[in-house]
Amino acid sequence: MSPSSPTSSQKLSTAVIEAVAKRMDVAPTELPERLLDVIDPDSLDSLFASGNPADGTVTFTYCGYSVTVTADGDVTLEE
């Protein structure tokens, strides 16, 4: 799947939830798993926060997808 990027005011954790919900064709509130049960959303949001010089990627499994988040803010899903 091509990567999606959060809007400037959107948190990465929200972008992940919305990308997975869109891919599964359900509302974010209907996802079968909470993001909090997989990764700390606050840590994810702060890891690549603007002004943070961090570079790299984070990959984790969420709702059956391999989710990769990059320092650029891109969110990519793979089955």
Tell whether 6 is covered by a domain. no
Domain assignment present for 2: no
% of the chain surpassing 90 pLDDT:
67
Residue 25 domain-assigned (yes or no): yes
- The answer to the question of residue 23 being in a domain is yes
> Is residue 7 in a domain?
no
63 assigned to some structural domain = yes
Q: What is the pLDDT of residue 1?
A: 52
Give 8's contacts (C-beta < 8 A, 6+ positions apart).
none
Tokens at 33, concatenated: 């798993």
Does 12 have pLDDT greater than 70?
A: yes
Q: Model pTM?
A: 0.84
Token readout for 67 is 């989710």
What total number of domains does the chain contain?
1
Residue 40 included in any domain? yes
In a domain, 1, yes or no: no
CA distance 11 to 75: 11
Percent pLDDT > 70 in the chain is 82
pLDDT band for 49, please (50, 70, 90 cuts): confident
Question: Does the pLDDT value for residue 50 go beyond 90?
Answer: no
- Picking from 22, 58, 29, the residue whose alpha carbon sits closest to that of residue 41 is 58
